[in-house]
Amino acid sequence: MKPLLTEEHIQAFHRDGFVIVDNVLDAATIEAARDRFPLLFRGEFETGIQPDEWNWREGRDSPDLTRQICNGWKADSLIASIVLRPDIGEACAKLRGWPGARINQDNVIWKPPGTKALGFHQDDAYQNWIVPNEMMTCWITLDDTSADQGTIEYVRGSHLWQLSGPIERFHAPDDPLSDMKQAAESAGVPNPEIVPIEVPAGSAVFHHGKTWHGSRSNKGIGHRRSVISHCMSSEARHHETNRHPVYSRYKRPGSLELDEAFFPVFATSNYIEGKSIR
């Protein structure tokens, strides 16, 4: 399989903390993945296994909230075929300077018109249950995106700031930029550059685990659906004492190794050069 990254991609990532890669999904896969969204959020799981986190359910939750599932790959084989692609894992490992990549979790995100924001945050802030506490993400859109449609947005260069803690409110915050603004002030950045990602369906963005990002409300007329692969190092282990309320349930007694059944290694690389950006 042809590598996803060029040298230009790699340089842009190191400079900005994120990089856009075109044509990661073909039209047939995009259409098939879109068709799975109503089923997943209705609770119709192809594998018979519920995802680890199911934050919006049809008939239970308000229609103006962004829909989110974590670890849809366990519930649906098509989602798994996207988020566990070896070329995605290899790209994540190369950009972060790891010997390989294993899945930390995935996200299935659906923002219909009128749905509210997701707060700007850093992914690494939620990883204190693993060592090293690092994440690398590939965000893939299933729809053409625009700034008014609640697309993902990045703060350019914010991967070079200090790591902050979890944000005050992730779903439907009054001000999705609030925590980011405080971090920018601490970093001595008075006017952080926010970049809305406006790309065709099938495009991907790789972002560093310390890059601030989020999405505002969908004020457009189209849906915004995405599938996201969150990776960690193939050498990651459970933290000795810190526990995650969901993912530490998979820790085997007496062992810090991550179980391959729940956190499979799906890419290794012998050609990675350089060190990770931390």
Q: What is the mean pLDDT of the segment spanning 227-249? A: 98
Provide the pLDDT for residue 278.
Answer: 36
Q: Which CATH architecture has domain 7-268?
A: Sandwich (2.60)
Res. 272: pLDDT tops 60: no
Instruction: Give pLDDT tens digits for 15-48.
Output: 999 999 999 999 999 999 999 999 999 999 999 9
CA-nearest of 84, 93, 145, 122 to 213 is 122
Q: How confident is the model at residue 268 (pLDDT cuts 50, 70, 90)?
A: confident
Provide the pLDDT for residue 269.
Answer: 61
Lowest-pLDDT choice from 127-136, 137-146, 221-230, 261-270:
261-270
Using CB atoms within 10 Å of the CB of residue 129, give its burial: 0 to 12 exposed, 13 to 18 middle, 19+ buried.
middle
Domain spans in the chain, listed from the N-terminal domain onward: 7-268
Cβ atoms within 10 Å of 11's Cβ, excluding its own: 11
Q: What is the mean pLDDT of the segment spanning 93-104? A: 97
Res. 277: pLDDT tops 60: no
What are the angstrom distances between the C-alpha of 174 and each of 86, 111, 119, 168, 219? 38, 17, 9, 11, 15
For the whole model, what pTM was predicted? 0.95
Q: Say which DSSP state 96 is in.
A: H
Provide the pLDDT for residue 274.
Answer: 40
Q: Do residues 228 and 83 touch, judged by C-beta distance below 8 A?
A: yes
